[in-house]
Structure 1
C-alpha cells in the first residue's frame, strides 16, 4: 500500500483530525506544510484578531514543515506567499507515494502538481471549486485560468477528489472521466462533535440562562468571520424583519464588518443580538448546543462552509444561501432546512419564520443522518481505490 502525503499551506483545524483518523484506521498518512503560522498563533487578517487554535493540530500523524523561500512569506499573501522548494527536491528522492494537494493557489502546490506524476507519484487534486460559482466568473483572467487547467494542469492529475456535488460538476465541466473522480467529502470531526453534543445535553438551560436566554426563546446561530464574503449584515437585516420578541441572534465570530454590525444593532435597539468575538474550537460546541437553527448567508467564495457540518452534528435545521458551496448537498429543501436566494434578505426572513414559528419541516431525514455520510470514515473508505 502506498503512503499518502497531504500537502497543505499550514495546519488546518478541520484537516489535522482527518490525518490522525486515517492513521488510526490503517491508512498511513503524512502531511507537508509550507507555513507554521497557525501553530505559532498571531493576527488572522480576516478575523482581525489574534488566533491560536486550541485543539491539537500536530497529533496522531507524521508531519514536516518546509522552508519558505518567499520574499513575502505567509499563506495570507497569495500565490507567491508559499515557495517551498524543498518539497520538489523531496519528490525526486522518496518512494513512489500518493500525493494529495489542496488546490493550486500557491507556487509550492502548483509546482508539485505539475511535476509529481512525471516522477512516478500518484498525484491527486483536492480543490474546493464549486461549478455554480465558476459559472458566474467572467473576464480574461478566468478564460486564461480555464485554458491553463484544461491543457496544462489537469492532464497531469491522476485522481480528482471531489468534496461535494458542485465540485464534481466543476471537474466534469473539463471532461474528467468518472473513473478519475473520487468522492472525498469535506468533513469535520463528527466523533468529537457527537461526544460534545452528548456532554452538553444535561446543561443546555443552564448555559442559556447564563446568557439571559429563556427556555421558551428561539436562538438563531451564525458562526463565521464578519467579512464581506459571508454577508453577516444580511442576517442582521433579516432578523430585524423577522421582528420576534422572544428570538435571539448569536453571531459567533469576528472581523472587519463588526463596526457596521454594531451600528445596525444600535440603530434598531437589538438587545437580543450577541456578537461573541472569536470563539475557539474547544468552546464552539456550546453555541451549537443551545441553538434552534443555523444560518449561513455567504456569497461567491464560500466554496463549502464547514461550520454547517459542525451544526449538523447537533441536528440543527439549516437556512443556507444558494451560493454556498455545500447548499445542494447538506440542505434537503423542506426536510432539514431551506435555501434562499443569496442576498435576498426578505426571503431569508421568510424562511426563518417558516422554520422557527411555523415548523414547516418534514424531518424525513435529519441533519445528523445527512452529515454522517460526510465523514472521515467515508474518506478512508473511498481512498482505498487509490492506495490499494
Structure 2
C-alpha cells in the first residue's frame, strides 16, 4: 500500500488492514508537503519502508522514484498493490512495475476524486480512463467518488466505499476525556466556554473569508449573542484573515490557535459545540469524520465530497451552499438551537466509517481483483504511463 507520507490517518488504516492480511506500507517521503505532523513513536503491526527518509517526494527525480518503487516491490512480491489515485508519481511508477509482471499482480486504486472537484477536459479524462483500465478494483471515499470511477470505466462491482476514514474510537474517547476536565483544558488552551470550530489549511479553496463574513452576519442576527468561532489551522492566508476579523470588529470572538498536532485535536473537538467546513472544493473532508466521531453536529459545504454520505440534513447537521451567505447563517442558527441532539446523531452516523471498514473493503476488493483476469495495458496506456511518470 503506497502513500506519499504516513500521517495519523494512514497509520490507522494500515493497522486495521494488517489484521486481515500481510501489509507492506510504502511511504515515499519521511515528511509531508502539506502537514507538519509529528510522527508518533512506537512499533506498528505492519512492515514499513520509507523511500526518501530525509526528503520530500517532490525532491525525488522520476528515475530515482521508479527505481526505489521497483526495488521495494521486487523484494516484497505482493499479489496486490494499492495505489493513491492516478496523478501521484509513485502510483504511476507502481503501475509500470505491475505492467512488467503480467498475470501475477493486481492494482487497487484508492481514490476520493469526484467529477465536481476540478475542471475536466476531454484529453485528461481520456488519459484517466486508460490508467483506470489498468486497475482491477477501486477503494473510494464515498458515493460521489464511486460514481466518478464508474464514469471512468470501472464496473460497480469492482468498487467499494471506505477509503476516507479516521480512528473514531480515538476521537470519541479523547473528546470525552476533555469534556470531563473541561475547565482546566479550556484555561490551558485559551478556549471559550462554547464555540463553533473549523479546522483546515488556510488556503483559498477552504473559503475562510466567506466563513468569517457569514459568522459576522450570524452574530449580528443574534444581537451579538452567539458562540465564538475558533479557526484551527494555519497557512498563507492567516494575516489576511486576522485583518478581516479586525475590520469586522469581531475581536476575540474569532480565535486562531494555529496548527494543532494530532494528539491535541480531540480536546478542541470535545470542548466545541458544533463544527463547520465551508470549502468550495473538497474531495472529501476528513475533519468532518473527526468532528462527528467527537460527537459534534456539523455544517458542511455541499461542495465537500463527504456531504453526500455523512450529513443527513436535520438529523446530524446541515449542508449549505458555500457561495450563499444567508444559507450558512441559517445553518449556524439551526445547529446552535439543537446542538445536543444533532451531535448524538453524528456519533451514531459516523460509527460505520471506521478503519475496520477500510480494511474489510480492501480485503473484499483484493478477492475481486485476484478472481478477475489481469488487465492488459494497451500501447496507448503504456506510452501514457511512461510520459506521465517521466
Question: Shorter-chain TM-score category?
Answer: 0.7 to 0.9
C-alpha contact (below 8 Å) 1:30/1:62 kept by paired residues: yes
Residue 27 (structure 1) aligns with: 21
TM-superposition CA deviations, 1:5-55 (whole Å, max 9, x none): x111122221112212332x24221111221124xxxxx5x57xxx24253
- Change in CA separation of 1:82 and 1:169 when aligned onto 2, cut-off 3 Å: farther
1:194 deviation in Å? 2.0
Q: Is residue 276 of structure 1 aligned with residue 254 of structure 2?
A: no
| Among candidates 126, 139, 143, match of residue 110 of structure 2 | 126
1:374 aligns with 2:369: no
Following TM superposition, by how much is the alpha carbon of 1:163 offset from its aligned partner in structure 2, in angstroms? Answer: 1.4
Q: TM-score, normalised by structure 1?
A: 0.84
Choose the corresponding residue for 1:258, options 235, 238, 245: 238
Distance 1:122 1:224, change over 3 A: same
Alpha-carbon shift at residue 117 of structure 1 (Å): 5.0
Contact 1:17 1:57 (C-alpha < 8 Å) held by counterparts: no
Is the helix fraction higher in 1 or 2?
Answer: 2
Change (3 A) 1:361 1:194: closer
Quickly say closer, same or farther: Cα 1:103–1:64, change in 2 above 3 A: same
Q: TM-score, normalised by structure 2?
A: 0.84
Does the 8 A contact of 1:242 with 1:349 survive in 2? yes
Residue 84 to residue 256, structure 1, CA distance change in 2 (3 Å): same
User: Residues of 2 paired with 1:362 and 1:277: CA distance?
Assistant: 30
The reply to whether residue 59 of structure 1 matches residue 44 of structure 2 is: yes
Any idea what SS the aligned residue of 1:262 has?
Answer: helix
- Name the structure 1 match of 2:330: 350
The change in CA–CA distance for 1:82 and 1:219 in structure 2 (over 3 A counts) is farther
The alpha-carbon deviation at position 95 of structure 1 amounts to: 3.1
2:387 aligns to what? Answer: none
The partner residue of 1:95 within 77, 91, 110 is 77
Query: Contact conserved, 1:313 with 1:371, CA < 8 A, in 2?
Result: yes
Matches within 5 A, 1:1-388: 6-23=1-18, 25-38=19-32, 51-56=36-41, 59-66=44-51, 74-75=56-57, 83-92=65-74, 94-119=76-101, 120-134=104-118, 137-138=119-120, 142-150=121-129, 152-208=130-186, 215=193, 218-243=194-219, 244-270=224-250, 271-300=252-281, 302-357=282-337, 359=338, 363=342, 366-388=345-367
Between the aligned partners of 2:64 and 2:146, the Cα distance in structure 1 is 27
Task: Give 5+ residue unaligned stretches, structure 2.
Answer: 368-390
Q: Bigger relative contact order, structure 1 or 2, given CA contacts below 8 A and separation 6+?
A: 2
- CA shift for structure 1 position 79: 9.8
Contact 2:295 2:343 in 1 (8 A): no
- Point out where structure 1 has 5 or more consecutive residues left out of the alignment: 1-5, 39-43
Tell me if the contact between 2:214 and 2:325 (Cα under 8 Å) persists in the aligned partners.
yes
Shift of 1:368: 0.9
Q: CA RMSD in A?
A: 2.7
Q: Report SS of the residue matched to 2:16.
A: helix
In 2: Cα distance, 1:180 partner to 1:79 partner: 33
Secondary structure of the residue aligned to 2:160 is strand
SS in 1 for 2:29: coil
Question: SS at the partner of 1:250?
Answer: strand
In structure 2, do the counterparts of structure 1 residues 123 and 117 end up closer, same or farther at CA, with 3 Å as the change threshold?
farther
Report the Cα distance in structure 2 between the residues aligned to 1:318 and 1:325, rounded to whole angstroms: 14
- CA distance in structure 2 between the partners assigned to 1:168 and 1:332 by the alignment: 19
Cα distance change of structure 1 residues 78 and 92 upon mapping to structure 2, 3 Å threshold: closer
- Is the 1:75–1:81 Cα contact (8 Å) retained in structure 2? no
Question: 1:305 touches 1:325 (CA, 8 Å); kept in 2?
Answer: yes
Stretch of structure 1 that moved more, 287-296 or 177-186: 177-186
Aligned residue-pair number: 359
